Homo-oligomer: A and B are copies of this chain.
Amino acid sequence: MAYMLEKLDEEKVFKDPVHRYIHVRDKLIWDLIGTKEFQRLRRVRQLGTSYLTFHGAEHSRFNHSLGVYEIVRRIVEVFKDRPHWREEDRLLCLCAALLHDIGHGPFSHSFEKVFHLDHEEWSRRIILGNTEINAILKQASPTLPQRVSDVIEKTDENKLIVSLISSQIDADRMDYLQRDAFYTGVSYGHFDMERILRVMRPTEDQAVIKHSGMHAVEDYIMSRYQMYWQVYFHPVTRSAEVILTKVLHRAKELFEQGYAFQYPPVHFESLFKEQISLDEYLQLDEAIVMYYFHMWQHEKDGILNDLCDRFMNRRLYKYVEFNLELQMKKWLELSTLFQTIGLAPEYYLVVDSSSDLPYDFYRPGEEEERLPIHLLMPGGELQELSRQSDIVESISGKKRTDHKLYFPKDRLEDFSTFETEKKRILDILYGKG
């Protein structure tokens, strides 16, 4: 237990471009940052393929994880000595904040989809498994690994702590909105976090916001909305992701077909078989993935080498708006035409859909129920945010979905072969069809 309370001789600080400084006083936190599992987050980008749209967005999850830790550290300082807050939960909170993304692998959005991974499950395995992180947490307290894992999995009995890490206004979101806005250079993503932190209050079940801070929260919700559509769902980013996903699909398919790789997918084999071990998972990072994609540009398989070349050298697919329901006939015709001209439609004609729910107060029975944001009114009672804010009310529960059809336009504009078919394809895509 002594280790748990051990302080560094002198506070350490990290210079952070978003929060200015990240302060570490606890030896436990310092030691966790030094583990190889945590250092690995330096090799996983926070925004996956977004750097191909916003060249500034090359920052890693290491960056973001420190940021979430720092925000929780500040919240906990505000909570100190207030009712409902137990100071003995402080380190649990800080550990969970720091480690909440520890399970993320390379380009996790695509990898999770293709290989049926779940980064939250991997977080648990890393925290509870045979790792440096587990050893350090256990040294602090035998029950700490399980508690940290429970908070990250949102199953911990202490709902207040869970809400700091995972809710509609948690430290995770507050960091990534600001950080991603900073690195992309977009002017959205700014809101008055300092004010929000000042007016956050602990209750038994969750952190709430004093009524006087409502406008700062409105601003945060609008930032979130803008960042989703301007950055996270940017159609060019999605194009790169479509290609990345298709590389993974193709490599898996070739592997299953027994194709003789010139550069065998050693690090991918257990992924393809969906029986990856903890050690194997921890080997994965974006440098490894890029190495293979780099090499596979020289594979004989024409689809694999083309897709890898596209990803490495940013030769992305173009896109048009597409309404899958209304345009099924077109889709079928396009598929057939793609087959004819020799572009496998499963790789070269891809519908991608994005959807976002900017704020919700309550969706009973849905897969992922979302804890609404509550305001602490002057009289002491709680009110759900959208009942007080016209702006938030107006967008509550309004899911917005966007479908796009992606394809390699360069291949369609090369008229050396199949001129008629290609013209027909372009006509369908660009509206004369």
Give A contacts to B, CB under 8 Å.
13-18, 20-21, 34-36, 39, 42-43, 51, 54-56, 58-60, 62-63, 66, 182-188, 190-192, 194-195, 198, 215-216, 218-219, 222, 225-226, 229-230, 283, 285-288, 290-291, 294, 312-315, 390-391, 394-395, 398, 400
Contact check, A184 vs B15: say whether CB atoms are below 8 A apart: yes
Evaluate whether A283 and B288 lie within 8 angstroms (CB atoms) in the complex, with A15-B184, A59-B58, A312-B36 already known: no
Evaluate whether A42 and B36 lie within 8 angstroms (CB atoms) in the complex, with A17-B185, A194-B20, A291-B287 already known: no
Evaluate whether A215 and B230 lie within 8 angstroms (CB atoms) in the complex, with A15-B56, A394-B394 already known: yes
User: Across the interface, which residues of B come within 8 angstroms of A187, CB to CB?
Assistant: 190-192, 195, 216, 219
Contact check, B34 vs A314: say whether CB atoms are below 8 A apart: yes
Q: Which of B14, B182, B226, B312 contacts A219 (CB 8 A)?
A: B226
Contact check, A313 vs B63: say whether CB atoms are below 8 A apart: no
CA distance A269 to B314 in the complex (A): 28
Q: Closest approach, in angstroms, between the C-beta of A183 and any C-beta of chain B?
A: 6
* Central interface residue in A13, A15, A195, A230, by most chain B CB within 10 Å: A15
Q: Residue on B with the closest CB to A194?
A: B20
User: Across the interface, which residues of B come within 8 angstroms of A192, CB to CB?
Assistant: 186-188
User: Across the interface, which residues of B come within 8 angstroms of A35, CB to CB?
Assistant: 313
User: Across the interface, which residues of B come within 8 angstroms of A291, CB to CB?
Assistant: 287-288, 290-291
CA distance A216 to B187 in the complex (A): 9
CA distance A329 to B290 in the complex (A): 48
- Interface SS majority for chain A: helix
Q: Residue on B with the closest CB to A22?
A: B55
Evaluate whether A225 and B15 lie within 8 angstroms (CB atoms) in the complex, with A58-B58, A59-B58 already known: no
* Central interface residue in A17, A66, A194, by most chain B CB within 10 Å: A17
Contact check, A314 vs B39: say whether CB atoms are below 8 A apart: yes
A and B contact pairs by CB, cutoff 8 A, 16 listed: A14-B55, A15-B56, A15-B185, A18-B185, A21-B194, A55-B63, A56-B63, A188-B192, A215-B230, A222-B391, A286-B287, A287-B287, A287-B291, A291-B291, A390-B400, A394-B394
Q: Which of B15, B190, B215, B225 contacts A190 (CB 8 A)?
A: B190
Contact check, A58 vs B56: say whether CB atoms are below 8 A apart: no
Q: Which of B63, B185, B290 contacts A287 (CB 8 A)?
A: B290
User: Across the interface, which residues of B come within 8 angstroms of A188, CB to CB?
Assistant: 192, 215, 219
User: Across the interface, which residues of B come within 8 angstroms of A190, CB to CB?
Assistant: 187, 190
* Central interface residue in A20, A43, A56, A225, by most chain B CB within 10 Å: A56
Q: Closest approach, in angstroms, between the C-beta of A216 and any C-beta of chain B?
A: 8
* Central interface residue in A187, A218, A286, by most chain B CB within 10 Å: A187
Q: Closest approach, in angstroms, between the C-beta of A69 and any C-beta of chain B?
A: 12
Q: Closest approach, in angstroms, between the C-beta of A361 and any C-beta of chain B?
A: 15
Q: Which of B15, B18, B191, B390 contacts A54 (CB 8 A)?
A: B15
Q: Closest approach, in angstroms, between the C-beta of A48 and any C-beta of chain B?
A: 14
Contact check, B59 vs A56: say whether CB atoms are below 8 A apart: yes
User: Across the interface, which residues of B come within 8 angstroms of A194, CB to CB?
Assistant: 20-21
CA distance A54 to B198 in the complex (A): 18
